[in-house]
Amino acid sequence: MTSPTLRERIRRRLVDETGRIAKQAPFTIALCYPSPYRVGMSSLGFQRIYRALMEAPGLACERAFLDDECEGDAARQAEHPVTYESLRPVEELPVLAFSVAYELEIAGVVRMLRAANIPPRRADRDARHPLVIAGGPLTFSNPLPLAAIVDAIVVGEAESRTVAVTLAVAQAGSRGAQLDAIAQIAHVFVPTHHATLPGVGAEDDAVLPAYSAIRTPHAELSDMFLIETERGCSRGCAYCVMRRSTNGGMRIVPADRVLEAIPRDARRVGLVGAAVSDHPAIVSIVSALADRGCEVGLSSLRPDRLANTEDFVAALARAGYRTLTTAMDGTSERVRATLDRRARPKHLVRCAELAREHGMDRLKLYLMVGTPGETDADIDECVALTTELSRIVPLALGIAPFCPKRNTPLDGAPFAGIRAVDARLERLRRGLRGRAEMRATSSRWAWVEYVLAQGGEAEGLAVIDAVEADGSFRAYERAFASVRSKPSRSLMAPSGLL
């Protein structure tokens, strides 16, 4: 039996959507997400830009996503992307606006452009092609690889700036005039006009909170209404682009404004932000939603807050939590100190005890391996602490290789090396066998992410070459090796620093 076509999948999904905005406008653009529908519709940023464009006078947008069948098959040719609202091929619209979450989604941008018969290299496009614009979480760190692909980048928070850029394009004449116009907008980077990236832009607090426009059972966060409780973060974690120095630190949305914005028919609610558990009224927000009968999810739970805030875990249990999820971050106390993290063993032990006391199935911890200066002794300390926690409650670990980002204190730190990361993961597996479930992301693809996180336009062109080969890791390895302006020897060697 053959799989449904892209158009058939779109028609089925549209039937199940709640909250879609019906609008026709003089100037309509394609709002694109370079991952499958289920991922894009779980992105609060993507949903917020959709709502901003649909609420702007004279403007509208139609959504498009990377073909679902591409997931897990880097060599597969994506189906020709069409919009969900009208099934139009995306290249028929004057602007393609991409929301890009992280470095590996740059390949999704390339795949969607190629599938639409739009040259992915910016220099190969002309007035016959739509303008290609990018924004999203990636722009808070290093969007420069995108500059080889897109015509403009909206850097940082983008609700009003996306509308301003779209209006400027609509009102300008030629392609040159359009680029001239948007190059004048603050925090918008136009590669043909600017030599350096602008700073990360912040929106006025009056636009807060962002919240979902559309709910769908086909999203990763099925039928969940997403809303931010705060924006930014007051903490100074050395690896994080949302640390206290970004956009003025943490901006709190009052509890009553959060609760008023959540529809009464919403049964699943996701509270979103870089530091949701640091909201001063988070327990009362969760409790109020539990009283409504809502299942509640939080995007970030800090172990010191969970351990030290009375009734927090009890409120989460009432709101449907079966797995208490928080972060260990580093493999040892010494490593956590270098990362400027507040989690202490006593906090993690208390979290495990609270998860057990409130009838939760397990405790899940996120951590990184391969941080600067990490040794086998740090891995062994992690094994010892994790073993202690597993005696209290069933335990799961989600592990990612450390990838230093721009706009953080650890910018420029080396990647530990594929072999070194794999060796540390294997040491953890041996030490924890039978004690904890352990899932780790690929060290190879973490290296690809690292090269892009520290790279520029040359690395963006290399992504195009890799995708046009077969999209495999080896294709990326060859493409990055061919980059002439290499940032550093250690950057380009996937097995470096072993």
H-state helical runs in 60-173 = 106-115, 159-171
Give the domain-ending residue among 148, 164, 189.
189
User: Residues of 234-251 as b/e, b for ≥16 C-beta within 10 angstroms?
Assistant: ebbbbbbbbbbebbebbb
Q: What is the pLDDT of residue 282?
A: 95
Contact 270, 297 (CB under 8 A): yes
Residue 252 lies in a domain: no
Phi, psi of 248 (to 5 degrees): 80, 15
How many structural domains comprise the chain?
Answer: 2
In a domain, 200, yes or no: no
CA distance 34 to 134: 11
Rounded to whole angstroms, the Cα distance separating 229 from 208 reads 9
381 lies in a domain? yes
Kindly tell me if the per-residue pLDDT of 497 is higher than 50: no
Residue 494 — pLDDT band, cuts 50, 70, 90?
low
pLDDT band, very low/low/confident/very high, at 245 (cuts 50, 70, 90): low
3-state DSSP assignment of residue 40 = helix
- Where among 189, 205, 225 does a domain terminate? 189
Region of 248 on the Ramachandran plot (φ > 0 left; ψ -120 to 50 alpha; else beta): left
Backbone angles phi, psi at 404, to 5 degrees: -65, 140
Same domain, 324 and 185: no
Q: What is the pTM of this model?
A: 0.94
Residues 178 and 322 in one domain: no
d(CA 399, CA 366): 6
Q: What is the pLDDT of residues 353-409, one digit of tens each?
A: 999 999 999 999 999 999 999 999 999 999 999 999 999 999 999 999 999 999 999
**Angle at CA 396, nearest 5°, toward 392 and 399?**
135
Question: Would 167 be classed as within a structural domain?
Answer: yes
Examine residue 217 and state whether it is found in any structural domain, yes or no.
no
Q: Tell me the C-alpha distance between 343 and 259, whole Å.
A: 29
298-331 pLDDT, tens digit per residue, is 988 999 999 888 799 999 999 999 999 999 989 9
Q: Which of these three, 156, 189, 222, is where a domain ends?
A: 189
* Residue 72: CATH number of its domain: 3.40.50.280
- Best CA proximity match to 274, nearest among 301, 303, 255, 312: 301
Measure the CA–CA gap between 447 and 103, rounded to whole angstroms. Answer: 11
Asked which of 70-84, 157-171, 234-248, 351-365 is least confident by mean pLDDT, the reply is 234-248
Q: Return the pLDDT at 1.
A: 43
Three-class secondary structure of residue 103 per DSSP: helix
Tell me: the pLDDT tens digits for 122-180?
999 999 999 999 999 999 999 999 999 999 999 999 999 999 999 999 999 899 999 99
Residue the block writes with tokens 């409790």: 287
Contacts of 360 (CB under 8 A, 6+ apart): 317, 321, 322, 323, 324, 393
Kindly calculate the radius of gyration of the chain based on its CA atoms and give it in whole angstroms. 23
Cα 160 to chain centroid distance, Å, stands at 20
Q: What is the mean pLDDT of the chain?
A: 93
**Same domain membership, residue 178 and residue 322:** no
- In this prediction, what percent of the chain has a pLDDT beyond 90? 84
In a domain, 181, yes or no: yes
39: in domain = yes
Residue 6 has a pLDDT of 87
Residue 282 lies in a domain: no
Half-sphere exposure of 485 (CA within 13 A, CB side): 9
State how far the Cα of 440 lies from the Cα of 420, in Å rounded to an integer. Answer: 14
CA distance 183 to 189: 7
Range of the domain at 33: 6-189
Of the listed ranges 70-79, 221-230, 238-247, 483-492, the least confidently predicted one is 483-492
Closest C-alpha to 137, from 56, 49, 206: 49
